[in-house]
C-alpha cells in the first residue's frame, strides 16, 4: 500500500472523526480508503463498463 498526503478542510476531517468515533470505521484512513474506492467504482469503473457495453 502506498502512502499519500491529502489536505482536507476542517469540516471534512470532523466528519471523518465522527464516523470513526461512532464505530463506523476503525480509522480515518480506512474511511478515506472506502470513500476513494466507492468514488472510483462509481466514476471510473462503471463508466468503463458502460462504454464496453455500448461499443461491444
The answer to whether the beta carbons of residues 20 and 27 sit under 8 Å apart is yes
Tell me which residue has cell 468503463.
48
Q: Where are the domains of the chain?
A: 26-56
Tens digit of each residue's pLDDT (9 = 90 or more) over 4-48? 999 999 999 999 999 999 999 999 999 999 999 999 999 988 766
The angle subtended at Cα 50 by Cα 47 and Cα 51, nearest 5°, is 85
pLDDT at 49 over 80: no
pLDDT at 55 over 70: no
Amino acid at each position: 500500500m502506498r502512502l499519500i498526503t491529502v489536505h482536507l478542510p476542517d469540516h471534512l476531517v470532523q466528519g471523518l472523526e465522527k464516523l470513526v468515533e461512532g464505530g463506523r470505521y476503525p480509522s480515518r484512513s480506512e474511511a478515506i480508503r472506502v470513500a476513494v474506492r466507492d468514488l472510483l467504482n462509481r466514476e471510473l469503473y462503471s463508466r468503463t463498463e458502460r462504454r464496453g457495453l455500448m461499443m461491444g
